[in-house]
Amino acid sequence: MAKRDIGIGRLILGSASPRRFQLLQQIGITPDDVIAASIDETPQQRERPRVYVERISREKATATFKATRHDEARAASHILAADTVVALGSRILPKAETAAEAAFCLRLLSGRAHRVYTSVVVMLPDGRQSQRLVEARVRFKRLSTAEIDAYIASGEWKGKAGGYAIQGIAGAFVTKIVGSYSAIVGLPLYETASLLEGTGFPVHLRWMHSG
């Protein structure tokens, strides 16, 4: 991506998620670079969902930070990393990679309420971190076998936490949301903007130069 005037801040998104990129654009912040650092996202034994998602988001930010130290422009950037997990009680549901995993998740979520945790981390050029955890609650209608089969056939579930994307077809499954919709999609907008502002990133200047 093109280099941006340092006066209005530089931001690296430490995530390959196109949804997070689009959500940042929605609030007038287009990342200057995207670096998807590879980390082990396996939950630790008996790790609770909120602890897990906070740890993974910190590890993403740290890995991105380490990957940018060799480049002067990147080293002067803020880094934004996030992770989202769908949880049923203390159970962490997977980011579905197979149709069987997605179907398993949907059968578990059918007719029940679950929680979605999203953790956002902003890392400053000097390595300091600020973090925010956002919790939302989602209730699904009771899903028929035909609905689950059709959703699996759509392919929308691939790589999605809990095997569904609320911003897509699966929005038809949702009967109630309590909390931040954007957090369920993958990035809580209010908290993200506040976190960036609190760490000195000029969010409002970005709005003035977004045209």
Q: What is the DSSP letter of 82?
A: E
Dihedral of alpha carbons 14, 17, 23, 25, sign: positive
Strands (E), the chain: 11-13, 33-34, 78-88, 91-92, 113-123, 129-140, 174-178
Largest Cα span, the chain: 55
Q: Do the beta carbons of residue 82 and residue 118 sit within 8 Å?
A: yes
Q: What is the DSSP letter of 143?
A: P
Residue 30 φ/ψ, nearest 5 degrees: -95, 120
Q: Which of 5, 40, 83, 126 is catalytic?
A: 83
Catalytic, 83? Answer yes
Cα–Cα distances (Å) from 204 to 34, 170, 196, 207, in that order, read 21, 34, 10, 5
Distance CA 173, CA 138 (A): 10
Q: Which residues are catalytic?
A: 83
